[in-house]
Amino acid sequence: MTKTWIGLALSLGLCACSSGTSSGLSTNGGPGAPGGGGFTPAGPGGDTSSGSSGSSSGGGFGGGSSSGSAGAPVGAFAGGGASAGTSTGTTAGTMAAASDAGPVQQVGTGILTAGIWDDSLNYDFFGHYLASHAQIPGAPGFAMADYDAAHTEFARRTARSVVDVALVMDTTGSMGDEIAYLTAEFAGISSSIGAAFPNADQRWALVVYRDTPDTDQGDEYVVRSFDFTTSAQTFAATVGAQSAGGGGDYPESPELGLEQLTQLAWRSDPSVAKLAFWIGDAPHHDYRAAAMKKAIVDVHAAGIHLYPVSASGTDDLLELTMRSAAEITGGRYLFLTNDSGVGDPHKVPEIPCYFVTRLEKAIVRVVGMELSGTYVGPDTADVLRVSGNASTGGACSIGDGGTVQIF
């Protein structure tokens, strides 16, 4: 169901989180609740591994920080203009309490948290971002004309009736802290999409990648793929059978995973929404920048909308590459956040404001937009946190008198 920002701002109340007590991380200084029709700007503290003291009745999302004391959990939206505080309720998935001693131990759906950003919606801001990162070693090297063409191409979206979804996932050892959660999430998301869109005739495929022998000789494989299936049970079993291992150095070979993505048996009918979620925590090797660019171009040529999902360990090059890939192919940029308490600290995305929801909800929302061809806002009950100083109209100031639009 589409929600307008104004409706969200006026009606956002207590977060629906699992019962229990948790002390955890204050991620990006979770804002106060709406009061008098607006939002209190985010408080101090960042989306980092430390924060100030705080507690939650029913938070379940806190913790997981590698150092520092506990901070206020997500869901700190007390009604009637109150500041960050407590929240109670239940979740669709079982959520274990977390502390600053380590990540939550229970693996299941409905735990990972994420934000979404649309650079096409804020294209001038994206141009400034690109200009400020033009000298990053290993950048894919797209010209502004490439981005302009994509921006024009995807200004209007077309409704689709059925959906092919592929998951492209880094399975190197550095993903070990999150891969169990990711496999559990995506094994169950197909069921959520089936419930939300029963006539979408969804199919799922999987591509997993590690790194090449010239840089990581111990990897069991470089790329593996599992073509489309209509069986949610088969897909769940395939995803659940994956494990993290190898990797060696920091960069990996996502370009090879994206190359394999285009070789899957995608349906060609115009009624099919074709999208892929690329999940990773490390960029390509600098010397493979041209191959990375070609892989993104080929994904675009195949009509696949790429939705990158950055995990803990993301650096500037990976964010730039993922946001570029999303813009060129007509997708959006997703990023895991510290709110779940899972994994190492996550990079604060270089954007001024965003919603945080559970990853499961973000994926279902994305698929809904691909099928409808229109913007779908998050349901009020799904929003765990709003980062930034968004107004009731959804505009966020960016410090130079300009504004961007929250997604």
Placement of tokens 């696949």 in the chain: 304
- Are residues 281 and 313 in contact, defined by beta-carbon separation less than 8 angstroms? yes
Cα first-last separation, the chain: 15
Cβ 3 vs Cβ 378: under 8 Å: yes
CA torsion 93-94-99-105 (nearest 10°) is -100
Angular region, 141: left φ>0, alpha ψ -120 to 50, beta rest: left
CA distance 148 to 240: 39
Q: For residues 118, 124, 130 and 133, what is the CA-based torsion angle, rounded to 10 degrees? A: -110
For the chain, the structural domain boundaries read 119-331
- Contact by Cβ (8 Å): 352, 391: no
Residue 395 sits at φ, ψ, to 5 deg, of -90, 140
> Among 273, 269, 272, 270, which Cα is nearest to 370's?
273
CA 290 distance to own-chain centroid:
25
Please tell me what DSSP assigns to residue 72: P
Q: Please, which residues bridge with residue 284 across strands? A: 252
C-alpha closest to that of 319 among 333, 330, 336, 339:
333
Q: What token pair was written down for 269?
A: 């009918």
CATH number listed for the domain at residues 119-331: 3.40.50.410
Task: Name the region of 83 (left: φ>0; alpha: ψ -120 to 50; beta: rest).
Answer: beta
Question: Backbone phi, then psi, for 356, in 5-degree steps?
Answer: -115, 125
Q: With a cut of 70, list the residues of the chain below it in pLDDT.
A: 1-109, 216-218, 247-248
Q: What is the DSSP string of 150-182?
A: HHHHTSS----SEEEEEEEEE-SGGGHHHHHHH
At residue 151, the pLDDT reads 98
Chain centroid to Cα 113, Å, comes to 8
Give me the pLDDT at residue 107, please.
Answer: 57
Q: Using an 8 Å Cβ cutoff, are 263 and 225 in contact?
A: yes
CA-nearest of 127, 68, 128, 129 to 100 is 68
Query: Residue 78 in contact with residue 85, Cβ under 8 Å?
Result: yes
Q: Dig out the tokens for 27 from the structure.
A: 């991620």
38, 75 Cβ separation under 8 angstroms? no
Other beta carbons within 10 Å of 222 = 18
Distances (CA, A) of 183 to 111, 187, 368, 387: 12, 6, 21, 27
Distances (CA, A) of 59 to 17, 233, 372, 388: 6, 31, 33, 21
Q: Tell me the pLDDT tens digit for each residue of 275-329.
A: 999 999 999 999 999 999 999 999 999 999 999 999 988 999 999 999 999 999 9
